[in-house]
Structure 1
Amino acid sequence: MKVAVLGTGAIGAYVGTALHRAGADVHLVARGPHLAAMRQYGVRVLSPRGDFTARPHATDDPAEVGPVDYVFLGLKANARAACGPLVAPLLHDTTAVVAAQNGIPWWYFHRHGGPHDGHRLESVDPGGAVGAVLAPERAIGCVVYAATELEGPCVVRRLEGTRFSVGEPDRSVSARCLAFSGAMVDGGLKCPVEPELRGDIWVKLLGNISFNPISALSRTTMRQMCLHGGTRRVIEIMMHETLAVARALGCEVGVSVERRPAGAERVGDHRTSTLQDLERGRPLELDVLLAAVVELAEITGVEVPTLRTVHALSDLLALRSAA
Structure 2
Amino acid sequence: MKIIVVGAGAIGGYVAARMLEAGLDVTLLVRAGRKRQLESDGLIVSSPLGDYSGQPPMLVGGEAGGPFDLAIIATKAYGLPEIAEQLRPYLHERTAILPFLNGMKHMEQLAQAFPGQPLLGGVARIEITLDDRGTIRHLNPYHAYSFGKFGPIEDDEYAIIRNVLSTVQLFKENADIEMDLWEKYAFINVLSGLTTLFQAPVGDILDTTSGMDAFRRLFAETNEVIARAGGRLSEGIADKQLRVIGGLSAKSKSSMLRDMENGLPTESAHIQGYLVELARRHECETPVLDIIHQRLEIYEKRRLAAIEGLRE
TM-score, with length taken from structure 2 = 0.86
**1:231 positional shift:** 4.1
Residues 1:186 and 2:134 are matched in the alignment: no
| 1:122 corresponding residue in structure 2 | none
* Residues 121 and 177 in structure 2, CA contact (< 8 A), matched pair in contact too: yes
Provide the rounded CA distance (Å) in 2 between the counterparts of 1:181 and 1:267.
33
Provide the rounded CA distance (Å) in 1 between the counterparts of 2:41 and 2:266.
30
Residues 1:307 and 2:293 are matched in the alignment: no
> Is the alpha carbon distance of 1:104 and 1:165 closer, same or farther for their aligned partners in structure 2, counting shifts above 3 Å?
same
- Greater Cα shift, 256-265 or 30-39: 256-265
Provide the rounded CA distance (Å) in 2 between the counterparts of 1:136 and 1:222.
41
| 1:166 corresponding residue in structure 2 | 147
**Secondary structure of 1:228's match?**
coil
Residues 1:298 and 2:284 are matched in the alignment: no
**1:277 positional shift:** 1.2
| 2:48 corresponding residue in structure 1 | 48
**1:290 positional shift:** 1.4
| 2:196 corresponding residue in structure 1 | 216
| 1:118 corresponding residue in structure 2 | none
- Describe how 1:111-260 pairs up with structure 2 within 5 A: 125=109, 133-135=113-115, 137-160=117-140, 161-170=142-151, 174-194=155-175, 196-248=176-228, 249=230, 251-258=232-239, 260=241
Provide the rounded CA distance (Å) in 2 between the counterparts of 1:250 and 1:171.
19
| 1:115 corresponding residue in structure 2 | none
- Greater Cα shift, 260-269 or 237-246: 260-269
| 2:259 corresponding residue in structure 1 | 277
TM-superposition CA deviations, 1:119-167 (whole Å, max 9, x none): xxxxxx5xxxx65544474431111112221234442222242211112
**1:72 positional shift:** 0.9
* 2:219 alignment partner AA: M
| 1:34 corresponding residue in structure 2 | 34
* 1:3 alignment partner AA: I
* Residues 63 and 89 in structure 1, CA contact (< 8 A), matched pair in contact too: no
| 1:86 corresponding residue in structure 2 | 86
- Greater Cα shift, 167-176 or 98-107: 167-176
* Residues 168 and 174 in structure 1, CA contact (< 8 A), matched pair in contact too: no
**Secondary structure of 2:97's match?**
strand
**Secondary structure of 1:14's match?**
helix
**1:223 positional shift:** 1.7
Provide the rounded CA distance (Å) in 1 between the counterparts of 2:153 and 2:84.
27
- Describe how 1:70-85 pairs up with structure 2 within 5 A: 70-85=70-85
| 2:309 corresponding residue in structure 1 | none
Provide the rounded CA distance (Å) in 1 between the counterparts of 2:155 and 2:264.
37
Which aligned runs of 4 or more in structure 1 are off by greater than 4 angstroms?
A: 170-173
> Is the alpha carbon distance of 1:153 and 1:296 closer, same or farther for their aligned partners in structure 2, counting shifts above 3 Å?
same
**1:2 positional shift:** 0.7
| 2:310 corresponding residue in structure 1 | none
* Residues 72 and 98 in structure 1, CA contact (< 8 A), matched pair in contact too: yes
* 1:48 alignment partner AA: P
Provide the rounded CA distance (Å) in 1 between the counterparts of 2:274 and 2:5.
26
> Is the alpha carbon distance of 1:94 and 1:173 closer, same or farther for their aligned partners in structure 2, counting shifts above 3 Å?
closer
**1:186 positional shift:** 1.6
Provide the rounded CA distance (Å) in 2 between the counterparts of 1:50 and 1:183.
21
TM-superposition CA deviations, 1:14-33 (whole Å, max 9, x none): 11112222222111122344
TM-superposition CA deviations, 1:238-262 (whole Å, max 9, x none): 1011112232215132344345345
- Greater Cα shift, 138-147 or 58-67: 58-67
> Is the alpha carbon distance of 1:199 and 1:290 closer, same or farther for their aligned partners in structure 2, counting shifts above 3 Å?
same
TM-score, with length taken from structure 1 = 0.83
Matched pairs, number: 302
Measured on the aligned residues, the alpha-carbon RMSD in Å equals: 2.5
Segments of structure 2 that go 5 or more residues without pairing to the other structure are: 306-312
Residues 1:104 and 2:84 are matched in the alignment: no
Provide the rounded CA distance (Å) in 1 between the counterparts of 2:84 and 2:189.
28
